[in-house]
Copies of this chain bind each other. A is one copy, B any other.
Amino acid sequence: MPSSSLVRVACIQMEPRFGDTSANVEHSLGLIAKAADKGATLIVLPELANTGYVFETREEAFALAESIPDGPTCRAWAGIAAERGLHIVAGITEREGASLYNSAVVIGPQGHIGTYRKMHLWGNENLFFEPGNNGFPVFHTAIGRIGVAICYDGWFPETYRLQALQGADIVCVPTNWVPIPGQAQGREAMANILAMAAAHSNSLYIACADRIGTERGQPFEGQSLIVSHTGWPAAGPASRTGEEIVSAEIDLGAARRDRNWNAFNQVLRDRRTDVYAEMLGSDIPRGWY
């Protein structure tokens, strides 16, 4: 196994304090440094890690949002990435002109690589943010091909599929998972199960960094985890309530190498595109669902 494919990834499970952007970013830098001290070179932070999540008005969200890559949050993360030789994927409240996006930046040692804008908005996010308008980009980096999804995006198998089909080795998931009705006590979170299924059925790694705590009455679920391309957790899930760094050394090359499951089957090539393409178009009457 070539050692060049080995990457230590760390998901930082933390608790941003609403509206306290500079303190949140400062706190994230400390945790990033801690993960880097333990050898991590790919680091994932939660959704909207700089601002917190529960906006009450659009004006409030607007005031807290920053431009990318020249805003202070993005510059701070780029600083530590350069200093420590890191790749960072981190959730940020983005402003472009008068439009806001629930975004995640991908930053490397040389600076800002790209931005993903959440495609599937959840609940009141629809009051503050525009839906993502850049599709599902896969970022080619020095360490491998990195895709990004944010929270509710993970409820759509299309999210992972479209990134796998573009060659993603790993999808990094900044998230703010909220409780789901019917979640059984003592069972892993449904969000974890969705990530496991997606990793297995696409043969790619998935690294989910969740937040913790309760903000303006909204509890979050923690349970950050790193899923191997086999579908089984490589690290985590973390607790529901504590700040933690979930970390694993993974072989990104295995995501590509292990897709041939036997003489006949390669999970991405076995897709029946002849039928999907026709049926996933717009000709299924909306009345059915």
Show the binding face of A for B, using Cβ within 8 Å: 119-124, 126, 131-132, 135-136, 152, 155-158, 161-162, 164-167, 181-182, 184, 187, 190, 193-194, 196-198, 200-201, 228, 230-232, 256, 259, 262-265, 267-273, 275-277, 279-282, 284, 286, 288-289
Main secondary structure of the interface of A (DSSP, over half): loop
Q: Which of A157, A187, A269 has the most CB of B within 10 A?
A: A157
Contact A264 B166, CB 8 Å, known A156-B270, A158-B271, A275-B135: no
Q: Are B123 and A158 in contact (CB under 8 A)?
A: no
Contact of A275 among B119, B230, B277 (CB under 8 A): B119
Residue of B whose beta carbon sits closest to that of A184: B232
A194 in complex: contacting residue of B156, B200, B269, CB < 8 Å: B200
Q: Is the CB of B193 within 8 A of A284?
A: no
Tell whether, in the assembled complex, residue A288 and residue B167 are in contact, meaning their CB atoms are under 8 Å apart. Answer: yes
Inter-chain contact B281/A162, CB cutoff 8 Å = no
Determine how many copies of this chain the complex contains: 2
Residues of B close to A158: CB separation below 8 A: 157, 161, 271-272, 276, 280
Question: Once bound together, how far apart are the Cα atoms of A282 and B193, in whole Å?
Answer: 29
How distant is A220 from chain B, measured CB to nearest CB, in Å? 16
Contact A289-B165, Cβ < 8 Å, known A119-B275, A120-B270, A120-B272 = yes
Give Cα distance in the complex from A279 to B273, angstroms. Answer: 12
* Residues of B contacting A135 in the complex (Cβ-Cβ under 8 angstroms): 275, 279
6 contacts between A and B (CB under 8 A): A119-B275, A155-B201, A157-B201, A194-B200, A196-B197, A269-B286
Complex CA distance for A272 and B280, rounded to whole angstroms: 11
CB-contact partner of A276 in B131, B263, B270, B280, under 8 A: B280
Q: Counting chain B CB atoms within 10 Å of each CB, which of A273, A284, A289 scores highest?
A: A289
**A184 to chain B: which residues have CB within 8 Å?**
232
Closest beta carbon of chain B to A217's beta carbon, Å: 15
Determine how close the nearest CB of chain B comes to the CB of A249; give it in whole angstroms. Answer: 17
The smallest beta-carbon distance between A54 and chain B, in angstroms, is 14
Interface contact A156-B264, CB-CB below 8 Å: no
Q: Which residues of chain B have C-beta atoms less than 8 A from A122's C-beta? A: 264-265
